[in-house]
Structure 1
Amino acid sequence: MIHPYIGLWVTADGHIRHELLPDGRYVEARGTREAAYTGRYEVTGDHIDYRDDTGFTADGDFVDGVLHHAGMVLRRA
């Protein structure tokens, strides 16, 4: 079964884009930088933990179909 949060999430201005891949990896694009950050993610319930390939960690929460992450609001594209 494919997790319901897999897919592309974007900020309202389209500047930040998180693609959550089915294999537990993500790609974050920022502006014209298509792979600004890459790494792994894990979803537990409605909470997401990120660990980028440099070791940096971050997290977020899905609330009513919206991803809240590091002060940003991302919606499914």
Structure 2
Amino acid sequence: MRGPVIAASLFMAFVGSAIAEDQMNNQTHSYVGMWVTADRYIRHELLQDGRYVEARGKRERAYLGRYRVTGNHIDYRDDTGFTADGEFIDGVLHHAGMILYRDK
């Protein structure tokens, strides 16, 4: 009887993951655009479709992944599975010890 229970659990985990990923794709917020450190070495482009591209120095596509904004909080999940988060405070993104500003 454990087989059906395990199969149902795996299916629910898959569905839950698909729903979470879909929620990351369908969001409305005012943070879409380019965010940069003061020296412009780190650049996060938050795309409307819930994807992001992080550039570091001359590496224009150093990291790629999905993000989700909830209020002023942002959760990142790169395509390798690494996760991180940050907060938007007074128009500034605080992320992993870095401070990023909206690019003009």
Tell me whether the two structures share a fold, i.e. TM-score over 0.5: yes
Query: Unaligned stretches of 5+ in structure 1?
Result: none
Cα-to-partner distance string for 1:14-47 (whole Å, 9 max, x where unaligned): 0000000000000000000000000000000000
Instruction: Letter of the 2:70 partner, please give it.
Output: T
Q: How high is the sequence identity, in percent, across the aligned residues? A: 77
Query: Unaligned stretches of 5+ in structure 2?
Result: 1-26
Give structure 1 regions of 4+ aligned residues with deviation exceeding 6 angstroms. Answer: none
Partner of 1:63: 89
2:72 pairs with 1:21: no
> 73, 76, 79: which is aligned to 1:50?
76
What's the TM-score once normalised by structure 1's chain length?
0.97
Tell me which protein shows more helix as a share of its residues.
2
Partner of 2:38: 12
2:60 pairs with 1:34: yes
d(CA) in 2 for partners of 1:45 and 1:69? 15
Instruction: Letter of the 1:16 partner, please give it.
Output: I
1:12 aligned counterpart, secondary structure: coil
d(CA) in 1 for partners of 2:66 and 2:28? 16
Which has the higher Rg, Structure 1 or Structure 2?
Answer: 2
Tell me which protein shows more strand as a share of its residues.
1
What's the TM-score once normalised by structure 2's chain length?
0.72
Q: What number of residue pairs does the alignment pair up?
A: 77
